[in-house]
A = this chain, B = another copy of it.
Amino acid sequence: MNQYAAMNRMELQAEYDRLQEAYRAFQARGLKLDMSRGRPGADQLDISTDILDVKEYIAPNGFDCRNYGMPHGVHELAEIFAQMMEVPVDTVVLGGASSLNMMFDKVADAMVHGVGGGAPWLLQGGIKFLCPAPGYDRHFAICEYFNIEMITIPMTESGPDMDMVERLVSADEKIKGIWCVPKYSNPQGITYSDETVRRFATLKPAAKDFRIFWDNAYCVHHISDTPDRLLPLYDECLKNGTEDMVIMYASTSKITLPGAGVAAMATSPKNQAWDRKRTGTQRVCPDKMNMMRHLAYLKDFDGLMAKMADHARLLRPKFDALCTKLEAEFGGSGLLHWHRPNGGYFVSVDTLPGCAKRVVELCAQGGVKLTGAGATYPYKKDPQDTNIRLAPTGIGMPELTEATELFCICVKLASAERVLAE
Contact = CB atoms under 8 A, between A and B. Distances in A.
Interface in A34-72: 37, 39-40, 42, 45, 48-49, 52-55, 57, 64-69
Given A108-B112, A122-B120, A257-B289, A45 B64 contact: yes
Interface stretch (A96-104, A352-360, A369-377): A96-104
A278 B98 CA distance: 15
A8 interface: no
A257 to B, nearest CB: 5
A171 interface: no
A182 B141 CA distance: 37
Given A37-B68, A146-B112, A257-B66, A98 B49 contact: no
Contacts of A67: 39-40, 42, 45, 257-259, 394
Contact of A39 (B68, B286, B287): B68
Q: How large is the interface on A (under 10, 10 to 19, 20 to 34, 35 or more residues)?
A: 35 or more
Contacts of A53: 55
A112 B122 CA distance: 7
A98 B284 contact: yes
B141 A281 contact: yes
Interface centre among A40, A66, A100, A111 (most CB of B within 10 A): A66
A98 B66 contact: no
A281 B40 contact: no
Contact of A142 (B40, B66, B281, B285): B281
Contact of A108 (B40, B49, B52, B109): B109
A284 B45 contact: no
A282 interface: yes
B52 A64 contact: no
A138 B97 contact: no
Nearest to A258: B68
Give the copy number: 2
A281 B145 contact: yes
Contacts of A259: 65, 67-69, 284-289
Interface centre among A97, A98, A100 (most CB of B within 10 A): A97
A339 B54 CA distance: 43
B258 A138 contact: no
Nearest to A292: B260
Contacts of A122: 111-112, 120, 122-123
A283 B68 contact: no
A284 B120 CA distance: 27
A51 to B, nearest CB: 9
B287 A97 contact: yes
A290 interface: yes
Nearest to A145: B281
Interface in A136-173: 138, 141-142, 144-146
A11 B51 CA distance: 67
A288 B409 CA distance: 38
A52 B45 contact: no
Contacts of A284: 98, 100, 138, 258-259
Given A37-B68, A289-B259, A283 B100 contact: yes
A257 B65 CA distance: 9
30 contacts: A39-B68, A45-B67, A49-B66, A52-B54, A65-B260, A67-B258, A67-B259, A68-B253, A68-B259, A96-B97, A96-B287, A98-B284, A100-B283, A100-B284, A101-B283, A111-B111, A111-B112, A112-B122, A122-B122, A141-B281, A142-B281, A145-B278, A257-B289, A259-B286, A259-B287, A259-B288, A260-B288, A260-B289, A260-B290, A287-B290
Given A45-B67, A145-B277, 11 more contacts: A48-B66, A66-B257, A68-B258, A98-B282, A101-B283, A104-B281, A111-B122, A259-B284, A259-B289, A260-B288, A260-B290
